């Protein structure tokens, strides 16, 4: 059963997803769409560093960079805005907008979900190893998760609440989040099966074939 274009667009666009979360009472960091270099001067007074800058459309953590100060922000924005192009990656055919948001400090996880009629029928939580900041390309993963059971339960409830409010009833979902000292925070809600090795290691750990 498919997912409507309107719902998919909210999840696919990182700015629209943050906006959706803010409007529906789901924890989200401060965020802003950068429409030009003129926006940068006001960022430091409105948002606390460190920050994360990323394309609103993107994949595989491409051009996602941690920003420590105002000078970093200007330099990194220049680099990203000059280099993202549909000629190098067709993922940007949906748009070249750039988003900035507060850095979320915590343990990053992936939650792979089988959702049927609005109910989670299966889930698997994978711990992500620390990335080599300021970049966020994955360096390793561990399944099953080593987080305390209460933190895992809170993450699953967050994923379920977000999917319910989005109006997603059926699908194989790859939900990315961070477990923080203040509770779980969503990063992305991918309305598709996780890529790369996800199907293989979920099958290896739990005997469940997501396909």
pLDDT tens by residue, 138-167: 899 999 999 999 999 999 999 999 999 999
DSSP reduced 3-state for 115: strand
| C-alpha–C-alpha distance, residues 176 and 140, integer Å | 15
Query: Could you give the CA distance from residue 108 to residue 10 in angstroms, rounded to a whole number?
Result: 22
pTM for the model stands at 0.93
Report the alpha-carbon distance of residue 44 to residue 80 in Å, rounded.
19
pLDDT in tens, 34-68: 888 877 878 877 899 999 999 999 888 889 999 99
Strand partners, 60: none
| Statement: residue 125 has pLDDT above 90 | yes
Q: Is 199 helix (H, G, I), strand (E, B) or coil?
A: helix
34/130 Cα distance (integer angstroms): 27
In percent, how much of the chain has pLDDT > 70? 100
């Amino acid at each position: 059963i498919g997912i409507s274009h309107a719902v998919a667009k909210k999840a696919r666009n990182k700015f629209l997803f943050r906006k959706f979360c803010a409007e529906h009472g789901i924890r989200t960091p401060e965020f802003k769409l950068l429409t030009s270099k003129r926006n940068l001067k006001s960022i430091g007074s409105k948002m606390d560093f460190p920050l994360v800058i990323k394309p609103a459309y993107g994949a595989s953590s491409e051009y996602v960079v941690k920003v420590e100060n105002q000078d970093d922000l200007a330099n990194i924005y220049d680099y990203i805005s000059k280099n993202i192009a549909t000629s190098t990656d067709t993922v940007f055919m949906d748009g070249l907008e750039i988003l900035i948001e507060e850095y979320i400090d915590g343990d990053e996880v992936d939650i792979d979900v089988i959702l049927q009629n609005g109910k989670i029928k299966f889930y698997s939580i994978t711990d992500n190893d620390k990335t080599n900041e300021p970049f966020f390309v994955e360096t390793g993963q561990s399944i099953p998760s080593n987080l305390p059971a209460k933190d895992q339960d809170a993450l699953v409830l967050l994923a379920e609440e977000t999917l319910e409010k989005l109006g997603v009833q059926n699908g194989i979902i790859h939900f990315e989040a961070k477990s923080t000292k203040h509770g779980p925070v969503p990063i992305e809600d991918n309305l598709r099966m996780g890529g790369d090795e996800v199907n293989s290691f979920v099958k290896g750990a739990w005997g469940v074939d997501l396909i």
